């Protein structure tokens, strides 16, 4: 978030990094200068215009009332308020206007939801989407720094013929895939899988959208990939869909990139565009389309989207 604030040249008059008591007194770099971290407390938010949150949902709920009382707008990256009907859930390119109706809190959606919504946003503008089947292939960095370290350590152990240690993921992730992310819900889907439907409905303003989702952890360092099949109210041709994706802000349609018609996680890491390719007719429904998309879940799927919400509001 700090890097992207600087990269986007957001006019920051005063930066106030807040963290736990353990981190207070240490520094972070912003635009080449060291800025001292202070301890987060209810009084720490006074005088701030915007607060960007990157904490667990329990901490978010703890500090949100104080942030709102301070008069700041809280852009929260946790899941704490995403389904609260009074809190906008925003991807600026799709429903940026919703951010203006905030009551002091704006939620950043789930990373896979953001990337998928961006990929289909142009198509949804042509005709309402009725159903969607999504399979996400999620990088280990989605589990945080520890997820990255676990894959790195396991790959090194394999190369050296040493025993593999496992702490973050329920099974070995090196040379493997794990078709389960999140916690199991009553309908045998995980909460991570249900976010695609629940959050998608809110972002796209499609309250009846039906989604089946499978979330898979893959041994990729960064950038999530999603295979999407959607059914629209009216038939959208592949040519129409391609044109809509090509012209949608924040998307890049891959028709021929280095001799191929699809993006990969490596292509999309470290930048904010969602790359979309392999757009084709669904063979099971005449109103269906199938596509493949990739996006950096740390940037557009999280930090960049939050900063883009801030930029949208101050513009």
Of residues 111, 213, 215, 294, which has the active-site annotation? 111
Q: How many CB atoms lie within 10 A of CB 288?
A: 20
199 closest CA partner among 283, 64, 108:
108
Alpha carbon dihedral 44, 47, 51, 57, in 10-degree steps, equals 40
Q: Give the gyration radius of the chain's Cα atoms.
A: 20
* Tokens coding 224: 């999530």
* Tokens coding 9: 């040249």
Active-site annotation holds for 213: no
Of residues 213, 215, 224, 251, which has the active-site annotation? 224
The distance of Cα 185 from the centroid of its chain, to the nearest Å, equals 21
* Tokens coding 26: 């240490």
What three-state secondary structure class fits 258? Answer: coil
Do residues 37 and 25 lie in contact, with contact meaning Cβ atoms separated by under 8 Å? yes
| Length of the chain, in residues | 315
Alpha carbon dihedral 98, 101, 105, 107, in 10-degree steps, equals -10
Active-site annotation holds for 111: yes
Do residues 197 and 230 lie in contact, with contact meaning Cβ atoms separated by under 8 Å? no
Residue carrying the six token digits 């002091």: 104
d(CA 275, CA 296): 10
User: Hey, which residues are catalytic here?
Assistant: 111, 224
């Amino acid at each position: 978030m700090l890097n992207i604030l600087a990269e986007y040249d957001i006019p920051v008059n005063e930066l106030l990094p807040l963290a736990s008591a353990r981190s207070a007194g240490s520094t972070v770099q912003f635009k080449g200068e060291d800025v001292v971290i202070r301890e987060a407390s209810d009084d720490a938010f006074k005088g701030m215009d915007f607060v960007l949150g990157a904490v667990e949902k329990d901490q978010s709920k703890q500090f949100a009332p104080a942030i709102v009382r301070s008069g700041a707008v809280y852009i929260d990256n946790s899941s704490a308020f995403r389904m609260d009907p009074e809190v906008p859930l925003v991807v600026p390119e799709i429903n940026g206007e919703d951010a203006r109706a905030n009551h002091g809190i704006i939620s950043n959606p789930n990373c896979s939801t953001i990337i998928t919504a961006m990929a289909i946003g142009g198509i949804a503008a042509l005709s309402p989407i009725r159903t969607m089947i999504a399979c996400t292939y999620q990088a280990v960095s989605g589990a945080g720094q520890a997820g990255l370290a676990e894959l790195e350590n396991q790959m090194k152990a394999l190369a050296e013929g040493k025993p593999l240690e496992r702490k973050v993921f329920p099974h070995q992730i090196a040379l493997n895939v794990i078709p389960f992310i999140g916690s199991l819900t009553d309908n045998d889907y995980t909460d991570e899988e249900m976010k695609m439907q629940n959050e998608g409905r809110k972002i796209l303003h499609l309250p009846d959208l039906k989604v089946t989702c499978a979330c898979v952890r893959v041994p990729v360092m960064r950038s999530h990939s999603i295979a999407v099949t959607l059914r629209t109210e009216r038939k959208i041709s592949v040519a129409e869909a391609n044109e809509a994706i090509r012209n949608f802000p924040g998307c890049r349609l891959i028709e021929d990139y280095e001799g191929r018609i699809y993006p990969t996680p490596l292509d999309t890491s470290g930048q904010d565009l969602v790359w979309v390719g392999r757009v084709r007719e669904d063979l099971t429904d005449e109103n269906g389309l199938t596509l493949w998309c990739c996006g950096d879940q740390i940037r557009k799927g999280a930090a960049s989207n939050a900063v883009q919400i801030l930029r949208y509001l101050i513009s």
